[in-house]
A and B are shown apart, each in its own frame.
Chain A
Amino acid sequence: MTVAFDIAILGAGPAGMAAAARATQLGASVVVLDEQASPGGQIYRNVDQASAAQHRILGPDYSHGHSLTQALRKSGAVHCAGATVWDVSRDGLVTYSKGGQPAQIRAKHLILATGATERPMPLPGWTLPGAMTAGAAQILLKSGALVARDPVLIGSGPLLYLLAAQMITAGRKPRAMIETQSRSDMWAARHDLPGALRGWRYLAKGAGLLTKIMAAGIPRYTAAREIALEGADTLTSVRFTSHGKPHEIATKTALLHHGVVPNTQISRALRLEHAYDQSQRCFVPQVDGLCLSSEPNISIAGDGAGIGGAKVAALSGEIAAFGAASRLGLITPQTQQAGVAPLQRKRQHELHARPFLDRAYPPATQSLSPADTTLICRCEEVTAGDIRRFAKLGCKGPNQAKAFGRAGMGPCQGRFCGLTVTELLAQETGQSQDDTGALRIRAPLKPVTLGELAAYDANSQET
């Protein structure tokens, strides 16, 4: 028999935790399913277990996660940890595996809070062991395993500076910053600066990080182009040009980052409406002011509905809880309005700096339109040139490209190639990204063993 709840929340990051705390307060029975052993998501990963030294390295914005994990614990919501969700149906049936055992829960309303993933950054050699995402390095810091030695940080955006500053505090100074943004990007962002000044805390934090990086004497190479990661079996050096001048830096670790994008695996599998966001260069699920998606019983909160950061995610989690409770008839429209209005104002305030940041630190052109020989699908080892060739053969969308050459068919299910395939096809065909479309995502959302599938079959006989 499946256990039934008013609301099932998928993901225990800031959006999911805030949604759970608020929804239980509004009278809903709530379950939160999350893949990790403890709540926090990627941003507040391990926040309850981290040592004092780790908190010092990661800073107060990380420690703030405590307030959310505590609220979740006190809320009375069921926290189903270590649960890998691999199927979700539109009518609220959630199938997951925990400790190798399959199980199901049913909910009247779903709140997807699946957060963000790193924007794929295809570069020559980005598959070499030793090349990782900046997010991966942060996960190591948060898990207390300080293993990245003398890394080179490559890409653009605030997270790259944050990581550099945290590594300096940890006594693991990065060897160099290879930054893809240039002065012309900052110039293009000048019109967004007045708006961003209203979100001055983000800008002040950024300035503080940069000051720290400069004071530590870390070389910064801006306007980096023609970046190539090199090595035979593992990474040994990074080659690039900066303002036209060639450079080579020996390193065993390169940390890549040029922004994060919504993790849309579940919203795509549910066939919810998505649209391409030109300013964030990614697909975003369509939600209304109450975080309700194109399906009335499914809400999406946090970075999974468009990148805004941890604070915006927590606020939108609360908004989604009001929206869901209202739809379930647990609160009056007046309560909903009174609850949501101040949250929306705060959320708007937190978003002030966003357009400036998006424009000043755009994704690296070299990775949005990689050279023909660059691998874009890591799993099936498909190159950008392959995708361009498929376009010339008449291929119009990523699902057809998958049939032509397997891009997106491997175990990651297109998580690290999907956006690149869409961008490449759009560039080649002249179609918009919306017309080009995205990979069709199907269950199982994560690989499951045959044993789990067999047990699932037996369990699905609902009573």
Chain B
Amino acid sequence: MQFHFEDRRLSAPRGATVASALLGAGITAFRETPVSGAARGPFCLMGACYDCLVSINGVTVQACMTPIEEGLQVCRVRPRLTENEDKA
């Protein structure tokens, strides 16, 4: 299955979650935190830690609980960047 992470085109096996698909492509940093802007990625992979958040169609979702779909556009969550853009 083909999908996009930011501007990168990636592929993943059917049945993968967004989290396992990105990890499979060697991507471990999925987002930046709202508090310090630190990079974060999956930690528990079972829907408990909320560290693997990504943005899909403008909605923030847990990458480990979201099945990958053909043509999916996945974006990093960068709350501080968005905030600064708003101020600019």
Q: Point out residues on A near B: beta carbons under 8 Å.
A: 35, 37, 42, 49, 117-118, 127-133, 135-136, 139-140, 143-145, 147, 233-235, 252, 263, 378-381, 410-412, 415-416, 446-447, 449
Which applies to chain A's interface (DSSP): helix, strand, loop or mixed? loop
Closest to B59 in A: A449
* A422 smallest CB distance to B (angstroms): 18
Q: How far is the CA of A131 from the CA of B41 in the complex (A)?
A: 8
Contact A140 B28 (CB under 8 A): no
* A44 smallest CB distance to B (angstroms): 13
Residues of A within 8 A of B81 (CB): none
Known A-B contacts A144-B15, A145-B13, A145-B16; the reply to A135 vs B41 at CB < 8 A is: no
Task: Tell me whether B30 is interfacial, beta carbon within 8 Å.
Answer: yes
Produce 1/0 per residue, B22-42, CB < 8 A to A.
Answer: 011000111001011011111
Q: Point out residues on B near A: beta carbons under 8 Å.
A: 13, 15-17, 20-21, 23-24, 28-30, 33, 35-36, 38-51, 53, 59, 64-65, 67
Residues of B within 8 A of A136 (CB): 42-46
Q: How far is the CA of A381 from the CA of B21 in the complex (A)?
A: 27
Residues of A within 8 A of B44 (CB): 117-118, 132-133, 135-136, 416
Cβ contact of B29, chosen from A117, A233, A411, cutoff 8 A: A233
Q: How far is the CA of A410 from the CA of B48 in the complex (A)?
A: 12
Known A-B contacts A140-B20, A147-B24, A415-B48; the reply to A130 vs B41 at CB < 8 A is: yes
Q: How far is the CA of A140 from the CA of B46 in the complex (A)?
A: 10
Contact A35 B35 (CB under 8 A): no
User: Nearest 10 pairs between A and B by C-beta?
Assistant: A129-B41, A129-B28, A136-B45, A411-B50, A145-B20, A129-B29, A381-B35, A139-B45, A147-B23, A233-B39
* B6 smallest CB distance to A (angstroms): 15
Residues of B within 8 A of A147 (CB): 20, 23-24
